[in-house]
Chains A and B, each alone.
Chain A
Amino acid sequence: MTRAWGKTLLMVALVLAAAGAAVFATTRGLRTVSADGARRLDLARAPRELPALVLLDQAGARHAFGGAAADKGGAPLTLVTFVYTQCTAVCRTSASGQAWLQQQLRERRLQDSVRLLTLSFDPVHDQPAVLRAYARTLRADPALWTFATVADPARLRSLLDAFGIVVLPDGLGGYSHNAALFLVDGHGRLAAAYDVERPDLALADVLRSRL
C-alpha cells in the first residue's frame, strides 16, 4: 500500500507539473486567456519578421513591404491596421483610430518619422480607385497615411498569417475579423500589437521610442 502511494504521489506531482507548465506556456505566464492577448505578449518579447510582399497603394504605385528589403535601419515607424472598404463594423473603429493618430502625429510634427498604413484584405474589390475614395472619406493626408492592398491576391494569405489576422465570412455577405493596431519598426519587423480601441497606447510607445 505504501509503495503504491509513493508511486501515486509521484504521478500526482508529475500531473501537476505538466499541467502547470502547459497552462503557464499557453497563457504566457498567466497573463492572458485570449488569442489576441497572446499575440500581443509574443510580439512584445520578440519582433517578428514579415514576408517580402509587393503592395499596391491608392495611387496605383507599387511598394516593397516586409522581408530583408524593408530593413533600412532608420526608416519611419509604421502603424498598420487591416480593413476592407465595404466593412461597416470593426474596421470603422480601426479607421477612426488611424484618423485620431494622424491628427496626433501632425500636432506633434512626427509625420516624417511615423507613418500610417491601412491594408485591405479584399484585394479583388479594393482596387486603387476604391482605396482613394475610402481615404478621402477619412480625410487622410497622402503624405502621412497610405492605403494599400497586396498587388498579388495570391499573397494575401501570407500577409494575414504574418500578422495573425483571421478573416471569417460573417454570414451577412461581409467579413468578420479580429482587428488590431500593429507597429512595424524601422527594420520592417512586426514589433507590437495593440487593441484596436487603444491607439493611445500605440502613440505612447511611438513617443517613447522617439525620445
Chain B
Amino acid sequence: MKALARGWLPCLPGVLLALAALFRPWLEVTMARHMGLELPLLALLGWWAARCAGRRLTDWLAPWNAAGLPGLLAAWCIASYWMLPVALDEATLAAPAGMAKVAGMVLAGLLARASWQAAGPVLQGFFVINGVWMMLTAGLLYQEADAQLCSTYLIDEQLVAGRALVLWALALLAVWLFAIASRLAVDPEPAA
C-alpha cells in the first residue's frame, strides 16, 4: 500500500494540472476566477510538485540557490508580473502568453517550495511580508480603479478580483503567522 502510494502520489500535481487545463475556459471567463482562483491554483500545484520531488530537487538547485534567494526572488517576480492587468489580458488573448503564464506560475510555486527550507526565517519573512503587501496593494488598486484595465474583463469584475487578491494576501499572512506561532510554542528560540 505504502509502495503504491509512493508510486502515484507524486503524479498527482501533474494530473491535476492536466485537469485544470480542461477547465481553462471556465477559469478564465471572469477576472476573479482567473486571478483569484487559476493563478493561485497553478502556484499551489507547483508548490506541491516540489514537495513531491523533495530533496532531489533542492539538492539539484542548491549550487545556484544559496539560502534559496534566487528561487524566492524569481517566485516573487513571476507572481508580481501576472498581477499586471495588461499581462493578464495578454494571457487570455494570446496563446503564447497564456502558456508562459501557466509555466511561470507553476515554476513560481515550485521554486518557492524548493527554496523555502534553505531560506530560513529572515528571508522567508521578507518575501512573505513583501508578497502580502504587494497583493494587498494590487487588490486595493483593482478595487479603486475607475477605468477598465483589461480589454477582456469588465470594470465591475475588477472589484471582485481585487477582493480575491486581498483575501489571498490575508490568508497567506495568517498561515505564515500561524506557522511561526506554532514553532515558537515548541521552541521559544528557533535556530535560523
Residues of A within 8 A of B (CB): 1, 3-5, 7-8, 10-12, 14-16, 18-19, 22-23, 26-27, 32-39, 164-166, 168, 170, 176, 178
Contact = CB atoms under 8 A, between A and B. Distances in A.
Contact of B152 (A8, A18, A23, A168): A168
B50 to A, nearest CB: 17
The 8 nearest A-B residue pairs measured at CB: A19-B77, A11-B70, A8-B66, A35-B89, A35-B151, A34-B149, A166-B151, A4-B66
Nearest to A23: B81
A26 B87 contact: yes
B69 A23 contact: no
Contacts, number: 83
Which secondary structure dominates chain A's binding surface? helix
B148 A8 contact: no
Contact of A34 (B73, B148, B154): B148
Interface string B36-73: 00000000000000000000000000111111011001
B151 to A, nearest CB: 4
B81 A22 contact: yes
Contact of B90 (A8, A14, A26): A26
26 contacts: A7-B64, A11-B64, A11-B70, A12-B69, A12-B73, A14-B70, A15-B73, A19-B80, A26-B81, A26-B86, A26-B90, A27-B86, A32-B86, A33-B84, A33-B149, A34-B86, A34-B147, A34-B148, A34-B150, A35-B149, A37-B86, A164-B151, A166-B93, A168-B152, A168-B154, A176-B154
B86 A4 contact: no
B86 A38 contact: yes
Given A10-B64, A166-B93, 7 more contacts: A15-B70, A19-B74, A27-B86, A34-B85, A35-B86, A35-B151, A36-B148
Interface in B63-111: 63-67, 69-70, 73-74, 77-78, 80-81, 84-87, 89-90, 93
Interface of B: 62-67, 69-70, 73-74, 77-78, 80-81, 84-87, 89-90, 93, 147-152, 154
A19 to B, nearest CB: 4
Q: Which of B70, B73, B87, B151 has the most CB of A within 10 A?
A: B151
A202 B66 CA distance: 54
A166 B152 contact: yes
B151 A8 contact: no
Contacts of B74: 15, 19
B11 to A, nearest CB: 29
B67 A8 contact: yes
A178 B77 CA distance: 29
Contacts of B148: 34, 36, 178
A164 B85 CA distance: 16
Contacts of A15: 70, 73-74, 77
Contacts of B90: 26, 35
